Chains A and B, each alone.
Chain A
Amino acid sequence: MSRLSIFTESDAQKTVEMLYKDLERRITASQPGLCPVDLASSFLHLCHAQSCGKCVPCRVGLGQLEVLIDSVLDGKATMYTLRTIEKTAQSIYYSADCAIGQEAARMVLKGVRGFRDDYIEHIEHGRCGGVQNQPVPCVSQCPAHVDVPGYIALIHDGRYADAVQLIRKDNPLPSVCGLICEHPCEVRCRRTMVDDPINIRGLKRFAVEQEGVIPAPKKMAPTGKKIAVIGGGPSGLSAAYYLSVMGHEVTVYEQRKKLGGMLRYGIPAYRLPRESLDREINGLMLSGFKAITDISIGKDITLKELREKYDAMYVAIGAHIDRKIGIEGEDAEGVISAVEMLREIGDDIYPDFKGLDIAVIGGGNVAMDVARSAIRCGAASVKILYRRRIADMTALPEEINGAIADGCDVMELDAPLRVEKDENGHVAAIWVQQEIVGPIEDGRPIPVPSTERKDLRIPCDRLLVAIGQGIDSQKFGEFGIPLQRGRIDAFDTSGIADAEGIFAGGDCVTGPATVIRAIAAGKVAAANIDEYLGFRHEITTDVEVPPVRFDDHKPCGRINMAERPAHERIHDFKLMECSMTCEEAHQESGRCLHCDHFGYGIFKGGREEKW
């Protein structure tokens, strides 16, 4: 008889572990609009199966809760049932011995409170409030509703130019999005249920790279209508492009020297090379809109003048002003806002950080952009200071990891206290208060000052502040356009209350967001401005999507984008990310499940051939 033995996992357990992974991926790819009460019941069933069975609340109670919730779903419940569910779940939460029962009950309580209306709808009408109106996950998740399965099928067939043409129907900036889109389309990709989401952004980039010369869009007959677009960023340019294609006469007014907005003055070239951006903008301008750069609204020309001169106006001024931290010494020389630094870089004025120690404040993507740019500008060291944990940063994980790989140090749980100046009024150091991670509120743990760890002095030659951007909307407010906390208060149709003929969209309405949301806003504005001017021009394409392929959906790894090695890329601002190869693109596009044809898509989805 051996006294000890090594634990070996049984085949059954190994299979269960695999099933856990399957379930995790399945939940990730869960489509919006499902009945929340049905899901609550299903989750509870799983929770109950996890019960060890020792204690009454969990072993018996969870099962009884399931019965009660199912009676709601089956239309056999009353409001008394709902009260019983709540009361029972509360008792289980208070009296369960361990987290298995306690947390299961808490999930039920969250649901009873969070989607009570759905419970009541079931009880009173035997119906669910949820609607499945998003049949093709990638298309519905994309704010611009780009025909993702369509262009992936074209890429698979080697018809790259057609693929890009199909994208342009809904998104006139395929090259930009191929490089820097946050790809919400991938979040609920149904392929995740099989293995991993399709690398949609990567495929888009691949197609654009194969396209060759950008063809001039077919323009519709001139309408004689004149439209001003204020702001030459992604939203303004998208609107200008579609409105020009529709036959309107469009003029874009841009405050800076060049068009591009945040694409040029916010995103560093190692993520979006200037050649790609310029090529994209030149392609957009083939639609025929005029651009006046270096012109400031309210200074060089008034809004009133503009409004009188044009039949309609689209305001897409973005969010370009910096925010202050509000700490002592912030006015020191050498304290630079991220917005300011990236703006200069946009005009090819690169700061000389050679041999300097740099500190960055912030945990978002912009913080990573300035940190990594600082490295490329020759900094001796870059420290990113963040008051929460790395896990709580809003920056994309790949951006954080990239910054670390580039040589940045990330110092978590360090809240800025004050800026120490030298005798010349120049920044000498940033003092931070050390925090410990505290209770979770709204899904994020809040930092609490540490009572044991002492304040730190972090010496630095430059302090880069990246804690968010504001909107320069004051002049618009004075003109009578409604503002809400600095944002332009526009409808989701981009129209504005009591401001006939004026439309607004993009960051200046939503606050700093993603490029694809800005593009989508431009598209929406174009459609509604066209309608406002009394037209109903249709944007369409003659690209025909090939018939679907049959496939057995055998699990296959996702092709991720490779990056140039850190030691090489940190010395320049050239594109950091590598392309897919033809072989890779073919394999990756072959993984698409074509939810436009298979599943709910063929019933309620279909292909929107025009808008």
Chain B
Amino acid sequence: MVKATINGVTVQVPEKTTILDAAKQAGVFIPTLCFMKDLNEIGACRVCVVEVEGYERLFTACNNTIADGMVIHTNSRKVREARKTNVELILSQHNTNCAVCNRNGNCALQKVAGNLNILKIPFEKQISTKKSSHDFPLIREYDKCIGCMRCIQVCDHVQHTHIWDVVNTGARTAVDVRDVYRLEDSNCVLCGQCITHCPVGALRERDDIDRVLDALEDPDKITIVQVAPSIRTSWGEPFGLAPEFATYKRLVAVLRAIGFNYVFDTNFTADLTIMEEGSEFLEKVTKAAEAKAKGEEPEKFPMFTSCCPGWVRFCKGHFPEFVDQLSTSKSPQQMFGAIAKSYYAKLLGVDPSKLFVVSIMPCLAKKAECAYPSMVDDQGAQEVDCALTTREVVRLIRSENLSPVAFKEAEPDMPLGIGSGAGNIFGATGGVMEAALRTAYYLVKGENPDPDAFRAVRGMDGWKEAEFELAGTTLKVAVVNGLGNADRLMHALQKNEVSYDFVEVMACPGGCVGGGGQPIHDGIEMAKDRGQILYAQDAADTLRFSHENPSIVAVYKDFLGKPLSEKAEHLLHTDHHAWKLPQEV
């Protein structure tokens, strides 16, 4: 333990405690800007500088450890002036058009500057004039970047995607795309983690709200909206609503008020994904046994889930040799679009071209996925016309001047508005695996397992492994979340250090609940809490198996036949080679 004094308060903290943490313990708040615990402790913004008695120079609190006997002042004249100057310097290169910034009110720089009572900037404004493409799902506003380097760190160290880097030196040093010149020419997986870790509005999703409003206003269009599982954990956060209040059903009411003709649930197609992907996996296992018996070329394992488009992009860009092991099942978003523009159009008795399908997703990669040339209906039109992130839907609600508090819960439309608890947990790491195992067990044994039998794959660990007995064979599965963990797993597979039968990958830490399209809380990772909401909802649900979803039973009975039928293959499966990443080999 070391003892030190901060602003006159004596604290005793373990060795290696940072000044910042020690100050927190002393009840002293030190402002930070670039800092992000465990991820970006580089002291770049110099906002958290403090004065240490005995030294002329100031030191950053975020990345320096406190030593025994240190006497620290966090609000001395020298500190105040330096801190203020540094924020003023940052502001001199930041386009402070806060009123038209999507981070207005949720901006770390705005907050720091406001708290420091900065009323004017004594420096010349030097704003970057560089612009990025506004067509790509991820947009970089160069004039807002404050060079905190957080995006580089999260891209390098959490996601191992290595898209962002520092380019140039000296005064022209900037954060930009690595190796290529334009983001749209890179193999960016569109996980959006750089956005959720950006302190300001320098990174954002492409805003597609106007396209949705156009469709809503078009009298010839029937608008259909699907809501991804993880949205129900987070959409209420920016309104200050508790998750128990900001439910899926309340969102249904709000979306209806906005004008959507039909409000459905992606949980329905999550269940459908389970039917297809689970059957695909069992078929693969059977084929493998047959091949072994015949001494033929063995099936390649593991099979990988494919519902996360960030992961599919990562696999294509970084591990192309494994692409054929991705499940061919489309993601729930795309299955929904495919079913809506075939089965549901038929139910409504309208031409599919009348339908405008919107999805509300925690994710930017979904914006890219719905626009892949292979994700089209029989008329060649996009199955899903537009994907909005959680943040966009929040902005849509706000721009419609709606107050969610005023809404009562409402029932979604049928038949695509019902999902099981198994579909619900798709939004959290391990959820797809668990849901698949619940149904695989049923398909093999003809009876349901205990719905919690596969809980070993839950939780925030980055790389989870489990073994289950299924029809006399031991299934070895792995679940990874965060592409850094996926990268490690793939390297281990390449070197034959590990072997699995089935692997679930979600690109974002914690799964979709930690998605790059989710509401931003600077410095706080919300995935764990949001994931627990999904599991609690699953536990409370009376419907916990995908195969028991009455709408699933109906869609097979009336339309698809059975899983992996010709029709199912045509509508619900895809070829991952049908489109290419810009730098794909």
Contact = CB atoms under 8 A, between A and B. Distances in A.
Interface in B65-118: 65, 67
Nearest to B152: A603
B130 interface: yes
Contacts of A311: none
A130 B168 CA distance: 7
B44 A552 contact: no
Given A35-B169, A38-B169, A132-B166, A603 B149 contact: yes
A245 B145 CA distance: 48
Interface string B26-52: 000000000000000111100000001
Contacts of A34: 169-170
A126 B16 CA distance: 43
Contact of B42 (A73, A132, A602): A602
B170 A38 contact: yes
A551 B55 CA distance: 7
Contacts of B172: 35, 38, 73, 128
Interface in A30-53: 33-35, 38, 42
B56 interface: yes
Given A125-B181, A552-B56, A602-B63, A33 B169 contact: yes
A343 B505 CA distance: 63
A7 B170 CA distance: 40
A127 B181 contact: yes
A254 B234 CA distance: 70
Per DSSP, are chain B's interface residues mostly helix, strand or loop, or mixed? loop
Per DSSP, are chain A's interface residues mostly helix, strand or loop, or mixed? loop
Contact of A127 (B44, B57, B59, B176): B176
Nearest to A31: B169
A553 interface: yes
Contact of A603 (B42, B170, B181): B42
Contacts of B181: 125, 127
A373 B67 CA distance: 52
A35 B65 contact: no
A550 B168 contact: no
Contact of A548 (B64, B130, B171): B64
Interface in A513-550: 547-548, 550
B55 A550 contact: yes
Interface in A469-496: none
B59 A550 contact: yes
Contacts, number: 53
Interface residues of B, number: 25
Interface in B283-340: none
B213 to A, nearest CB: 35
A75, A126, A548, A552: most-surrounded residue (chain B CB, <10 A): A126
Nearest to B57: A552
Interface in A147-205: none
A128 B16 CA distance: 39
Nearest to B16: A547
Contacts of B171: 38
Interface string B498-531: 0000000000000000000000000000000000
B133 to A, nearest CB: 15
B52, B168, B171, B172: most-surrounded residue (chain A CB, <10 A): B168
A127, A548, A551, A553: most-surrounded residue (chain B CB, <10 A): A127
Contacts of B536: none
Interface string B390-414: 0000000000000000000000000
Given A550-B64, A602-B41, A132 B55 contact: no
Interface in A558-611: 597, 602-604
A126 B131 CA distance: 12
Contact of A547 (B43, B55, B65, B168): B65
A128 B64 CA distance: 33
B241 interface: no
Given A35-B168, A35-B170, A602 B67 contact: no
B115 to A, nearest CB: 26
B466 interface: no
B9 interface: no
Given A38-B172, A547-B65, A548-B64, A128 B167 contact: yes
A547 B67 CA distance: 9
B42 A128 contact: no
Contacts of B56: 552
A548 B65 CA distance: 8
Nearest to A39: B170
Contact of A128 (B43, B52, B63, B169): B169
A292 to B, nearest CB: 35
A350 B42 CA distance: 57
Given A550-B52, A603-B44, A603-B149, A127 B64 contact: no
A126 B172 CA distance: 10
Interface string B180-212: 010000000000000000000000000000000
A157 to B, nearest CB: 13
A552 B55 contact: yes
B36 to A, nearest CB: 13
A75 B168 CA distance: 12
B41, B42, B65: most-surrounded residue (chain A CB, <10 A): B42
Contacts of A604: 166
A111 to B, nearest CB: 15
Contacts of A550: 52, 55, 57, 59, 64
Nearest to B495: A536
Contacts of B176: 127
A550 B166 CA distance: 28
B169 A130 contact: yes
A474 B181 CA distance: 49
A341 B41 CA distance: 56
B495 to A, nearest CB: 8
B59, B67, B170: most-surrounded residue (chain A CB, <10 A): B170
Contacts of B57: 550, 552-553
Contacts of B167: 127-128
A604 B149 CA distance: 11
Nearest to A553: B57
B207 to A, nearest CB: 26
B41, B65, B130, B169: most-surrounded residue (chain A CB, <10 A): B169
Nearest to B166: A132
A32 to B, nearest CB: 11
Interface string B2-44: 0000000000000010000000000000000000000001111
Contacts of B166: 132, 604
A559 B67 CA distance: 28
A603 B43 CA distance: 9
Contacts of A548: 64
Nearest to A554: B56
Interface in A95-152: 125-128, 130, 132
Nearest to A603: B42
A75 B166 CA distance: 17
Interface string B160-174: 000000111111100
Nearest to A128: B168
A448 B59 CA distance: 58
A33 B170 CA distance: 11
A130 B170 CA distance: 11
26 contacts: A34-B170, A35-B169, A38-B168, A38-B170, A38-B171, A38-B172, A73-B172, A127-B167, A127-B176, A128-B168, A128-B172, A132-B169, A547-B16, A547-B64, A548-B64, A550-B52, A550-B57, A550-B59, A550-B64, A551-B55, A552-B57, A602-B41, A602-B43, A602-B63, A603-B42, A603-B44
Interface of B: 16, 41-44, 52, 55-57, 59, 63-65, 67, 130, 149, 166-172, 176, 181
The 4 A-B pairs of least Cβ separation, nearest first, read A603-B42, A547-B65, A35-B169, A128-B168
Given A34-B169, A550-B64, 18 more contacts: A34-B170, A35-B169, A35-B172, A38-B168, A38-B170, A38-B172, A42-B170, A126-B130, A130-B168, A132-B166, A547-B65, A548-B64, A550-B52, A550-B55, A550-B59, A552-B57, A553-B57, A602-B63
